């Protein structure tokens, strides 16, 4: 059994080494379009929620098909969405849909998502009974996308996923798109455009009506033979490392049992990912070396068997299920005397699994969720400490929890900022979370915040400025430079944190509708920017405060948090404060008498929040 687990870990790592050579995906774009066929009585707000977009974005790409601010039924809307490589197999994106009573895979595919997905894809990425999906269950909706084909043309690099409907044919679609019919057929070889079902890929235009050319591949200058040779060398090195590690491992006594590492018993480490980290447990200590390739520490104290996890969750029963994420479900369990949350991930999510495992085995902080262990038998499992009170989004946007007092909101903001400051300032290399939002901030029994969900984390070298990367994350929290160009730096997290500050004040969603007409729908950033620009910003901000707070909040404190949110969400990333400066500002605000080190670089931010 131990050998089997070791081999599974090895082949999982082997998959990552070979990814660029063996992957069936040919990634060449960050954004694609979904052609959504609008059914009667379906509002633009509902469509934006289903497609994880915003009303403003949809309008900007569909001005010709929207009359008087509202979409016309039986028309198509082109809606942008991230185009990612899913499981190394195909290009697509996984949307999260909250099921309604009576939903089935068939109704979700054909009605709710207008044939953009299929029943087969829904079955593959979900584990529900196809005729009995629970109400409010999180359903993974996978939509395919395309980035083009350089052998057909390099003039087109952004494509529409276009579901075929009765009456469609190749020439009508080509005429509507003002494209050559033969070109469309070459992009969709062997496809019958008149079959009235399935999807095809059509070149799309940007907001200015222009076609986006196919981006050159990052490895275009690397010969295929060289790439294969490099990968083979990496595989051989990894194989040798695994043999050595497991040879040493099996020299240890069989049946040795170790306790789970806890915050009190674990020696925190800020070692470089390419180095090693030491864990001290009760009565024993051990050192596990992480490879520079994957950063995964295969430590015995963190391994679980499938049998142990299945027993603790009653075979992953619905009674133990406490959540559903983009790549799997979360279950409650008690393991070896400790309350835990077990994330069960599909094998297709190996990239996210490895990323989170890499981060949380090297980065330890009170304000970051603690990883206890993992398992790679059958599926991919991550075992975390159990956080009693759910996430911040449930407190702010849900109905089943008591409203957080203002002092608690400020404390959670400070806790979250400290967690992010730690991964930005105190780790080598620097980690960028890339999906900071209220749903990824957990609340413990003492109403303290912990940052969670590191599956999209990116790392950069210390002193590095920005990277260019594929678009992932959540609409409403993405800064302009990332959403438009894929530029990534720690200031991406700063922007998203600013949106969270606005959420803490208002309990509103990051993208919301502020009135009856579509024109009044806007992002939370724009809403607060407008309020702060008024002649009396205090009164304007007061109108945005969560009504559940009543009058139990100091308006000066609320205004300062709003001003801090504004600093975080500036369009120019160079003008945003660092997480270090944000921590100092929040410390000053939450405890004015506390001794704070104000020697950080953004002194203007400290002045902004000082008592006047």
Average pLDDT of the segment spanning 501-505: 98
| Domain 264-386 top-level CATH class | alpha beta
Active-site pick, 435, 453, 493, 546? 435
Phi, psi of 183 (to 5 degrees): -65, -45
Please name the helix (run of DSSP H) or strand (run of DSSP E) that holds residue 451, with its range, or none: strand 449-451
Average pLDDT of the segment spanning 496-516: 87
Confidence of residue 350 (pLDDT cuts 50, 70, 90): confident
**Boundaries of every domain in the chain:** 1-25+222-254, 26-203, 264-386, 394-609
Range scoring the smallest mean pLDDT among 301-315, 334-348, 437-451, 468-482: 468-482
Average pLDDT of the segment spanning 581-586: 92
pLDDT over 50 (residue 58): yes
How many Cβ atoms are within 10 Å of 426's Cβ, its own excluded?
12
Query: Mean pLDDT over all residues of the chain?
Result: 77
Average pLDDT of the segment spanning 255-273: 36
pLDDT over 70 (residue 419): yes
Which pLDDT value is given to residue 516?
A: 56
pLDDT tens string 114-153: 999 999 999 888 878 767 788 888 898 999 999 999 899 9
pLDDT over 80 (residue 559): yes
Confidence of residue 203 (pLDDT cuts 50, 70, 90): very high
Range scoring the smallest mean pLDDT among 31-35, 85-89, 247-251, 288-292: 288-292
CA distance 344 to 97: 18
Confidence of residue 430 (pLDDT cuts 50, 70, 90): confident
How many Cβ atoms are within 10 Å of 134's Cβ, its own excluded?
15
Which pLDDT value is given to residue 393?
A: 92
* pTM, to two decimals: 0.53
- Bigger pLDDT: 215 or 368? 368
Q: Which range among 44-53, 457-466, 536-545 has the greatest average pLDDT?
A: 536-545
CA angle 362, 346, 437 (to 5 degrees): 55
The three-state secondary structure class of 491 is helix
CA distance 184 to 504: 48
Who contacts 538 (Cβ-Cβ below 8 Å, separation ≥6)? 555, 556, 559
CA distance 336 to 320: 17
- Bigger pLDDT: 214 or 264? 214
Average pLDDT of the segment spanning 578-594: 80
CA distance 140 to 123: 9
Contact 89, 348 (CB under 8 A): yes
Answer yes or no: 435 catalytic.
yes
Which pLDDT value is given to residue 221?
A: 38
Which pLDDT value is given to residue 459?
A: 57
CATH architecture assignment, domain 394-609:
Orthogonal Bundle (1.10)
Average pLDDT of the segment spanning 494-523: 82
CA distance 551 to 529: 23
Please name the helix (run of DSSP H) or strand (run of DSSP E) that holds residue 467, with its range, or none: strand 467-468
CA angle 53, 30, 82 (to 5 degrees): 30
pLDDT tens string 321-347: 888 766 678 899 999 889 999 999 877
- Bigger pLDDT: 251 or 546? 546
CA distance 13 to 242: 10
CA distance 145 to 349: 18
pLDDT over 50 (residue 22): no
Range scoring the smallest mean pLDDT among 83-92, 167-176, 183-192, 563-572: 83-92
CA distance 39 to 59: 17
- Bigger pLDDT: 487 or 537? 537
Who contacts 603 (Cβ-Cβ below 8 Å, separation ≥6)? none
Contact 36, 76 (CB under 8 A): yes
Binding residues: 344
- Bigger pLDDT: 484 or 241? 484
CA distance 359 to 490: 16
Which residues are registered as beta bridge partners of 430? 460
Binding residues for ATP: 344
pLDDT over 60 (residue 439): yes
CA distance 588 to 595: 9
pLDDT over 70 (residue 261): no
């Amino acid at each position: 059994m131990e050998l089997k687990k070791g081999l599974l870990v090895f082949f999982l790592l082997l998959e990552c080494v070979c990814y660029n050579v063996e992957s069936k995906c040919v990634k060449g774009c960050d954004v694609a379009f979904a052609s959504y066929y609008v059914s009667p009585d379906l509002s633009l707000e509902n469509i934006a929620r289903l497609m994880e977009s915003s009303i403003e974005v949809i309008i900007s790409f569909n001005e010709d098909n929207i009359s008087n601010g509202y979409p016309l039924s039986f028309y198509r809307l082109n809606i942008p969405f991230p185009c990612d490589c899913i499981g190394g197999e195909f290009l697509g994106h996984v949307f999260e849909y909250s099921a309604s009573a009576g939903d089935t895979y068939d109704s979700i595919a054909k009605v709710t998502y207008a044939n953009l997905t299929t029943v087969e894809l829904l079955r593959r990425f979900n584990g529900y009974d196809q005729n009995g999906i629970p109400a409010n269950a999180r359903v993974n909706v996978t939509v395919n996308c395309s980035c083009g084909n350089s052998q057909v043309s390099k003039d087109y690099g952004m494509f529409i996923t276009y579901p075929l409907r009765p009456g469609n044919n190749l020439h009508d679609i080509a005429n509507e798109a003002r494209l050559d019919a033969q070109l469309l057929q070459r992009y969709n070889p062997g496809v019958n455009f008149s079959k009235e079902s399935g999807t095809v890929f059509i070149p799309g235009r940007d907001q200015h009506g222009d076609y986006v050319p196919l981006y050159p591949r990052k490895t275009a200058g690397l010969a295929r033979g060289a790439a294969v040779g490099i990968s083979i060398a990496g595989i051989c090195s990894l194989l040798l490392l695994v043999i050595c590690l497991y040879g040493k491992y099996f020299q240890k006594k069989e049946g040795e049992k170790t306790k789970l590492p806890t915050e009190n018993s674990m020696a925190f480490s800020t070692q470089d990912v390419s180095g090693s980290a030491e864990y001290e447990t009760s009565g024993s200590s051990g050192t596990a070396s992480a490879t520079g390739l994957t950063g995964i520490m295969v430590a015995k104290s963190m391994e679980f068997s499938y049998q142990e996890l299945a027993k603790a969750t009653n075979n992953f029963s619905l009674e133990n299920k406490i959540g559903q994420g983009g790549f799997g479900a979360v279950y409650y369990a008690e393991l070896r005397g400790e309350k835990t949350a077990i994330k069960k991930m599909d094998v297709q999510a190996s990239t996210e699994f490895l990323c989170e495992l890499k981060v949380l085995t090297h980065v330890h902080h009170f304000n970051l969720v603690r990883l206890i262990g993992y398992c790679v038998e059958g599926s991919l499992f991550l075992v975390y400490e159990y956080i009693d009170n759910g996430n911040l989004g449930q407190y702010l946007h849900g109905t089943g929890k008591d409203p957080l007092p203002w002092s608690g909101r400020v404390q959670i903001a400070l806790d979250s900022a400290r967690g992010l400051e730690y991964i930005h300032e105190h780790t080598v290399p620097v980690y960028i979370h890339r999906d900071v939002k209220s749903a990824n901030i957990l609340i413990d029994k003492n109403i303290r915040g912990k940052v969670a969900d590191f599956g999209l984390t990116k790392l950069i070298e210390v002193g590095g400025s920005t990277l260019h990367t594929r678009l992932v994350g959540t609409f409403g929290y993405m800064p302009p430079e990332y959403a438009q160009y894929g530029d990534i730096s720690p200031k991406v997290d700063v922007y998203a944190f600013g949106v969270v500050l606005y959420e803490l004040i208002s309990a509103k969603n990051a993208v919301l509708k502020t009135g009856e007409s579509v024109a009044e729908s806007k992002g939370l950033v724009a809403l607060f920017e407008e309020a702060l620009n008024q002649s009396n910003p205090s009164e304007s901000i007061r109108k945005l405060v969560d009504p559940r707070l009543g009058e139990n909040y100091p308006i000066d404190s609320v205004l300062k948090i709003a001003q801090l949110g504004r600093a975080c969400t500036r369009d120019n990333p160079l003008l945003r404060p660092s997480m270090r400066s944000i921590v100092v500002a929040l410390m000053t605000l939450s405890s004015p008498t506390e001794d704070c080190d104000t020697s950080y670089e953004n002194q203007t931010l400290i002045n902004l929040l000082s008592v006047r």
